[in-house]
Amino acid sequence: MYPCTSTARERKALALELFVRYKMMKCRWQSLMPSGTRMRVDESDTELYEAALAYQQTGNSCNLKGPDVDLSDERNEQMTFIELQAKVYVDRHQINVHDLHEAIRIIDKDVPRTERVLDYYQNEGVTNLMVLRDILITFAAFHPDVGYAQGMNDLVSRFLEVLDSEVDAYWCCTFYFEKISNDFKEEGLIRKIRLEEQLLKELDTELHTHLLQDNMNGLTFCHRWLLLGFQREFEHSEAIRLFEILSSHHLELNSLEAERARDSERMSHIQKEEGKIRPELPSANTDYTFELFICAAILLEKRQALLNCMDEVELIQYTNSLQGKLDLNSVLQRAEEVFFSYCNKSVLDCFKKSSMEQKKRGLFSFKLMNLFS
């Protein structure tokens, strides 16, 4: 939510701007759809039903605790300008009431299904579910091109729990969704699954062939893993840690670590060939993000069990049984090994290709000489 180069003073000013903007955005959709401020809850869910009622009656739905503001004349002028900017931003967006009504209907079904076993949603914390709901609706109202898709509630919940701030959680998840919004669309889903299939084929041909049989339906079961950042496959605190690791982009094929690994492997081959073969390395396939290597590591770790699955039903039953049972440290270690192995393999393939081309050229020259001899 803050630029990496920003100073503490700049961040404080930006925090105030984002707070004012979010509050106006939230109040905008609530004024257009007063009926949408109350969460629709099954009365049998007594705890959540009463919390939703109290949240609406106390007016918490549009009251936000903002950053401390200096009340000097200069600060008041700045605040006036910030509010004017926020109003221009909010008024520029047209809210489709019909589409938002449909989004709210789905959100009201998904929010109660969020991981309510977490301490953050226990007892008085059940009110945080209403805060989560407001964030999701505000996002859907001002991002009609993305809207709301199932699974977003779990992702936003992660930001809200860690940051414990409605405004910060909204802006952080907004910037995050801008990067992954295509994953919530059919074409994005298909693309990511195809990439995982390609990577698995390079790593383990037998397992790839088995999982892509007609009766297995490919790797579609991996989509939830990738979309939610493996949130349900690991114990909750480990899933949060993995999400931070993936968000850091520490190990990507365009990272410094990958370049070092490939360069080291290249130098090793040059020494073996006594400097005779020096092909320029092609750029690595950066579409293979580290999350795909995490996914591949899980598949390889559970290889034998997956090979024992004979149809899609058995496959889904087995992969569902993994929820909350995977060990993050072992998966991370395996994923790093697979990552660097792929880096080295890309170099080796390059040298093999170069060697074959040289042999073909040599053979062609030999045949050409025989033709004129």
173 and 255 fall within a common domain: no
pLDDT tens figures, 165-182: 999 999 999 999 988 888
| Residue 366 pLDDT | 46
| Residue 63 pLDDT | 66
162 and 263 fall within a common domain: no
From 155, 181, 207, give the residue that closes a domain: 181
Tell me, yes or no, whether 372 lies in a domain.
no
| Lowest-confidence segment of 133-147, 189-203, 214-228 by average pLDDT | 214-228
| Lowest-confidence segment of 9-18, 91-100, 282-291 by average pLDDT | 282-291
Tell me, yes or no, whether 2 lies in a domain.
no
What percent of the chain has pLDDT above 90?
54
| Residue 135 pLDDT | 97
User: Alpha-carbon distance 151 to 176, whole Å?
Assistant: 14
132 and 203 fall within a common domain: no
φ, ψ of residue 43 to 5 degrees: the values are -60, -20
| Residue 364 pLDDT | 46
What is the chain's alpha carbon radius of gyration, rounded to the nearest angstrom? Answer: 26
177 and 248 fall within a common domain: no
Tell me, yes or no, whether 3 lies in a domain.
no
41 and 90 fall within a common domain: yes
pLDDT tens figures, 258-300: 888 888 887 887 777 665 656 566 666 788 999 999 999 999 9
What tokens appear for 236 in the block? 């909750």
| Residue 69 pLDDT | 52
User: Alpha-carbon distance 322 to 300, whole Å?
Assistant: 14
φ, ψ of residue 18 to 5 degrees: the values are -70, -35
Residue 247 makes CB contacts below 8 A (sequence gap 6+) with: 176
Tell me, yes or no, whether 343 lies in a domain.
yes
- Report the CATH number at residue 234: 1.10.472.80
Q: Could you tell me the residue range of the domain that residue 128 belongs to? A: 8-181
Beta bridge partners of 326: 234
160 and 211 fall within a common domain: no
